[in-house]
Amino acid sequence: MTETRTLTLNEIEDLSFRALVAAGTSPENARPLAVATAATEADGVASHGLAYIPIYCEHVQCGKVDGLAKPVMTRPKSGVVTVDAATGFAHSAIDLGYETLITAAREQGVAVLSICNSYNCGVLGYHTYRLAQAGLVGLGFTNAPASIAPSGGAKPVVGTNPFSVAVPGTDGQPALLIDQSASTIAKSEVMKHAREGRPIPVGWALDSEGNPTTDPNVGLKGSMAPSGGYKGVGVALLTEVMAAALTGATLGINASPFSGTAGGPPKTGQFFIAIDPVATSSSGGFAQGIEELVDAIRSQDDAHLPGDGRRAKRVASATQGVAVNIATLEKIEAILG
């Protein structure tokens, strides 16, 4: 049985912040990532939470990500905000552009945020969630190093490439939050199983010849299984267009891995669309439509909405804290010396 220790969300944020700074990250770059790490743990997505802090620190120290980077924002068009992450953490670049994005969307009805020369943005839904809190429909896309092969092929050409949609509710929280990768499971989950020496279920990954495997290490050398077969490949290609081609970021086939120390900065991208539903729908039409849709699902026994699980864990963790793997904590404490 895995040993754990319960930490508060403030303790998780503080621990993450101190480890990142100790590894050579500037305080202004470490804080957004630490806040996101605590929020990710609160949502129960442990694979993207504290478990990633030692990896982030290693990547700062080996130069895969510039912990001292200073992202640069520009406004080429009234509805377009661009940020060059300067090979630094995505979270800092996203934070730099978000307020301008939100303001532009409210003024014009729709606006986009394009980010290039970036790095792993963690849980994509964390970022679209914030747009929904601002009363906007948020769509997000982020590309990743190639790990999914095309239909009929065996060589990866696109990443797990998540997309996310967050829809505002009437209580200041998302009424609906979709956050899913193009693969059957996030690659970080396969990496987590490999670190822990546990087999993966059939259907998560394929070997180098395109055959199913339960060995996470074999899967990491092969390819991730696309969700829904060719439909998952289509989702990955859509995200590649949005997050890499439209932003001018590096394609997944040319990006260095998010894991390990091989290669330089991956220079991947993120793309966000913020839409003001008040501007696009008739009076009260949007809120009424979403309420009716949500009620149609909630009225069914045992039915649930995307994001329900995270919401429940978020509420509980605010008072109960989060159980964190002791082995992960020991790795982080070693960074702190």
pLDDT in 10s for each residue of the chain, 337 residues: 679 999 999 999 999 999 999 999 999 999 999 999 999 999 999 889 999 999 999 999 999 999 999 999 999 999 999 999 999 999 999 999 999 999 999 999 999 999 999 999 999 999 999 999 999 999 999 999 999 999 988 899 999 999 999 999 988 889 999 999 999 988 888 988 998 899 999 999 999 888 999 999 999 989 999 999 999 999 999 999 999 999 999 999 999 999 889 999 999 999 999 999 999 997 779 999 999 999 999 999 999 999 899 999 999 999 999 999 999 999 999 999 8
Phi, psi of 207 (to 5 degrees): -80, -175
Q: Starting at the edge strand that comes first in sequence, how are the strands of the sheet with 212-213 ordered?
A: 212-213, 205-206, 223-224
Q: What is the CATH number of the domain that holds 330?
A: 3.30.1370.60
Distances (CA, A) of 184 to 152, 198, 229, 240, 268: 17, 18, 9, 17, 21
Whether 197 is covered by a domain: the verdict is: no
Catalytic residue among 91, 127, 183, 189: 189
Pair of tokens at residue 250: 């590096």
Whether 189 is covered by a domain: the verdict is: no
Q: Catalytic annotation on 91?
A: no
Whether 209 is covered by a domain: the verdict is: no
Decide if 150 contacts 190 (C-beta within 8 A). Answer: no
Query: What is the tally of structural domains in the chain?
Result: 1
Whether 191 is covered by a domain: the verdict is: no
Decide if 119 contacts 90 (C-beta within 8 A). Answer: yes
Residues 6+ apart with CB under 8 A from 221: 207, 208
**What pTM did the predictor assign?**
0.94
Catalytic residue among 13, 41, 48, 118: 48
Whether 91 is covered by a domain: the verdict is: yes
pLDDT of 1:
62
Domain range enclosing 83: 4-183+226-294+306-336
Q: Catalytic annotation on 47?
A: yes
CA neighbor of 267 nearest in space, from 243, 289, 287, 236? 243
Q: Catalytic annotation on 291?
A: no
* Owner of token pair 């890499």: 244
Catalytic residue among 16, 47, 92, 183: 47
Tell me the C-alpha distance between 33 and 122, whole Å: 9
DSSP annotation of 230 reads H
Decide if 176 contacts 166 (C-beta within 8 A). Answer: yes
Whether 325 is covered by a domain: the verdict is: yes
Whether 145 is covered by a domain: the verdict is: yes
pLDDT of 186:
81
Whether 82 is covered by a domain: the verdict is: yes
CA neighbor of 192 nearest in space, from 51, 38, 2, 332? 51
Strands (E), the chain: 4-7, 72-77, 80-84, 110-118, 137-142, 163-168, 174-180, 205-206, 212-213, 223-224, 268-275, 322-325
pLDDT of 104:
98
